Structure formats: structure tokens, C-alpha cells
Structure 1
Amino acid sequence: MKTFLFRSLIGIFFGAFVSVVTTNAIVYFGGKEWLDGGMFLKNSLGTIFCGWFFSVTPLYFETRSLRLLQQTALHFATVAVLYFTLSFGIGWIPFEMKSFLSFTALFIVIYAISWICFYLYFKNEAKKLNDDLRHI
């Protein structure tokens, strides 16, 4: 529970940080001097919620009773459902079949690349630790 709360706070703060940076970039680079308050609130809360669930859902990978395939499937399903529900609800993704398919393909590619990178990183770390243990 302590880990869940810590990761929740980190995710919420990270989502808020991304929201502020994005808003500042839109104002600075987009030349917008005025922002719609309702749109800002909706988008910033969406970004904060994304930060939260993207930081909490990796807890699946710390559940030792599940195999890696089960952990990955649960994580992917949870993140996909939450992200697409949020994205369609807020309006980040237009509610059209072409948009849905395009963003689903992009989501799967980004997820796969991220998963492979994390897998290779932790596999390399485990190899280093095992090598260090053999030399003791």
C-alpha cells in the first residue's frame, strides 16, 4: 500500500508537470496569449490521471505469483482501456474508426518498443548482478 501511494503521488506530480510544460509550450511556441479555462482544466486533469495510471499499473510486474506474459497482458489491457477511454472522453482522439485504428496501431507500437526496452534493460541488469555474484 505504501508503494501504491508513493507511486500515485509521483504519477500525479509528473502528470501535472507534463501538463504545465505542455501548456507553456503552447503559449510560447503557438503564440496563444489566451487559453480556454475549461479546456485547460479538462486537459490538465486528463494528463494528471494519465500520469497516475501509467505510474501505478507497473505494479503488475511486481506480482511474483503471475508469469511475465500474464503481467504484460494485465498491464496492457488496463493501460489501453484507461487511456483510450480517457482519450475519447476528453477529445484527444476523434471518435472515428480511422482515428481509433490509427491510434491503436500507434499505441501498440509504442507499447511494444517500451516493453522491449525495459525487458532488455532489466535482463542486462540481472546478468550484471549474476556475474558479480559469481565473482564473489
Structure 2
Amino acid sequence: MKKFLGRTFLGIAWGCTINCLVMLIISFSEGKIYFTANEYLKQLICSAVVGIAFALPTFIYENEKLSQGIKCLIHLGIGFITYFINAFIAGWFPVGLDIKIVIGSVLIMIALSFIIYFFFWLYYKNEAKKINQKIKNH
């Protein structure tokens, strides 16, 4: 339960942080962003839900029976499906649903996911190296 809550709160933190960064980028490029309180709340909730959807499925990596590729596919599949549902709810896609924007969004989400995945991979690879070095020294 402690891990579940920890990953849930970590997902909320990631989702809201990325939301703030995106809004900051948009505000610099467009000058101003106008949201009603309800629209802003919807943005935050959708961002938190997407963050949770990417953080909670990391439990799949503890299953040693599945290959790494299947684990990654399940993890990212849950995250992407949740992202697209929330993208429609939050209005992250334009009303006309321009296919270029959807494809661009897909590519950005894939790139961002793999960048984050890569840094976690580097971290755990480094941790394994440290553990192996300690074992070797004893």
C-alpha cells in the first residue's frame, strides 16, 4: 500500500509539473493564457490522472515472468491511452482535431516517454554497477 500511494503521489507530481512547464512554454510563445477556474482545475486534474497512469503501471517491472519489451508495452500503452482520453477531455487537442496536431502530440508523448525511460534506465544501470562493485570488493 505504501508503494502504491508513493507512486500515485509521484505520478501526480510529475503530471502537474509537466503541466506547469507546458503552460509556461505556451505563455511565453503566446504572451498570455486565459483560463477560468473550472478550466484550470480540469487541466490540473487531467494532468494528474495522466501522471498517475504513467507512474502506477511501473509495478509491471517487478514481474520477472514478462519480457522487458512486454512490460514497456503495457506500461506505455496504459499511459498513452489515458493521455489521449484526458487530452480530449481537457481540450489539449484543437476542436477541429487537426490530424497534424494529433500526430505531433503522439510523437511528443513517445519522445518524452522514451527520454524519461532512458534516464531511469541509466539510473538503474548505475545502481546495478554500484551493487556489483560492492559484491566484487567483499
Q: How does the TM-score come out when normalised to structure 2?
A: 0.76
Aligned: 1:128 with 2:127: no
Higher deviation after alignment, 88-97 or 99-108: 88-97
| Residues 61 and 68, structure 2, Cα contact 8 Å, conserved in 1 | yes
| Residues 19 and 44, structure 1, Cα contact 8 Å, conserved in 2 | no
Aligned: 1:115 with 2:110: no
Identity %: 27
- Between the aligned partners of 1:40 and 1:111, the Cα distance in structure 2 is 24
Letter in 1 for 2:128: A
| Residues 4 and 56, structure 2, Cα contact 8 Å, conserved in 1 | yes
| Residues 15 and 49, structure 1, Cα contact 8 Å, conserved in 2 | no
Deviation at 1:130, TM superposition (A): 0.5
Give the match's secondary structure for 1:106. Answer: helix
Give the match's secondary structure for 2:93. Answer: coil
- Between the aligned partners of 2:82 and 2:19, the Cα distance in structure 1 is 22
Deviation at 1:39, TM superposition (A): 0.7
Instruction: Name the structure 2 match of 1:7.
Output: 7
Deviation at 1:47, TM superposition (A): 1.9
- Between the aligned partners of 1:43 and 1:106, the Cα distance in structure 2 is 18
Deviation at 1:21, TM superposition (A): 5.5
| Residues 42 and 90, structure 1, Cα contact 8 Å, conserved in 2 | yes
Q: CA RMSD in A?
A: 2.9
| Residues 58 and 75, structure 2, Cα contact 8 Å, conserved in 1 | yes
Q: How does the TM-score come out when normalised to structure 1?
A: 0.77
Letter in 1 for 2:65: S
In structure 2, the CA distance between the partners of 1:107 and 1:69, relative to structure 1 (3 Å rule), is same
In structure 2, the CA distance between the partners of 1:120 and 1:17, relative to structure 1 (3 Å rule), is closer
- Between the aligned partners of 1:92 and 1:113, the Cα distance in structure 2 is 21
The count of corresponding residues between Structure 1 and Structure 2 is: 132
Aligned: 1:47 with 2:51: no
Q: Once the two structures are superposed, what CA deviation does each residue of 1:70-118 show, in whole Å capped at 9, x if it has no partner?
A: 1111111111111111112211122221111111112222222222222
Deviation at 1:4, TM superposition (A): 1.4
- Segments of 5+ residues of structure 2 without an aligned counterpart are none
Runs of 4+ in 1 over 4 A off after TM superposition: 19-22, 28-32
- Between the aligned partners of 2:101 and 2:65, the Cα distance in structure 1 is 37
Letter in 2 for 1:9: F
